[in-house]
Amino acid sequence: MPVCHVTHHRLDLDGIDIFYRAAEPQDAPVVLLPHGYPCSSYEFRGLMPLLADRWRLLAPDFPGCGYSATPDDFAYDFDGYADFLERFTRHLGIERFALYLHDFGSQIGLRLAIAQPQRITALIVQNGDIYEDQLGPKYAALQRFFANPTPQARAGLADAVSLEGFEEEFLNEVEPELAERIPPDLWHLHWALMSPRRKEIAVQVIAGLKENLAWFPRYQATCATTSLPP
C-alpha cells in the first residue's frame, strides 16, 4: 500500500487567512472534512492518510478555530460557517464532493447540502446532532439557557468553554479503557489556541444552537429523502 502524506496549507479566502490539511491524488473524488467543537482539522490527522490512496481529502480550520484567522467581520454562526465551506471549495476549484459530518459540523454541512444539493456526491454522518433527544442531561445548562436566556444562564455556558470543558467534550464519558487511548494533546492544544475573542465566539455559537433547533426537521428530511445527483 503506498504511503500517503498529509500536507499543510494556507490560503487567502476573501481576505481571511485560512489553514487547511490535504491528502490527495489531485484527480481522486473529493471528501470534505468539516471539524466539530471544540476542535480543528487536527482531529483528522490520523484518518486522512488511511483514505488518501483513493480520495482527495480536504480539512479546513473554520475561521476562529485552529490555525485559521479570527476576523472581526465574519459571521460566526451556522450560516456563516456553511457559506465559508462553499467559498473554500469554490476557491480550490472543487465543484462536487462528499461530506463527512459529525458534531456541529453536521449541521453546518447539511445547510450547505440543502442549499446546493447538486454539488454533494455523498453524506457520511457520524454522531451528528440533528435530533432534540440528543440534548440529554449533559446539556442541562444549555437547556436552562434555552428556556430562560438570562445573563446568568449565558455565564453558565461560558464556564464550559474552559480546559476542563474541552477535556469533557473529547472524553465524552467513554469507558476508562477507551479514555486511555485519547491523547490529552486534543484538549490542551485547542485550549492553547483560544483567546478571549475566540471564547466569546464559542459561547455565541453554543447559544445559537437554540435557533438551530428549528432546522433539525430539515436536516432529518435531507438525510432521509434527498436524492443526490449521479
Instruction: Tell me the per-residue pLDDT of 115-157, one tens digit each, with 9 for 90 and over.
Output: 999 999 999 988 887 777 767 777 778 888 888 999 888 888 8
d(CA 194, CA 203): 12
CB 35 within 8 A of CB 43: yes
- pLDDT tens-digit map of 35-84: 999 999 999 999 999 999 899 999 999 999 999 999 999 999 999 999 99
Quickly list DSSP for 168-182: HHHHTT--HHHHTTS
| 195 part of a folded domain | yes
- pLDDT tens-digit map of 191-229: 999 999 999 999 999 998 888 888 888 888 888 765 554
Range of the domain at 112: 7-225
Domain tally for the chain? 1
| 230 part of a folded domain | no
Give the CATH number, domain containing residue 22.
Answer: 3.40.50.1820
Find, among 45, 30, 74, 6, the residue nearest to 185 by Cα. 45
| 78 part of a folded domain | yes
| 115 part of a folded domain | yes
| 74 part of a folded domain | yes
User: What pLDDT does 230 receive?
Assistant: 47
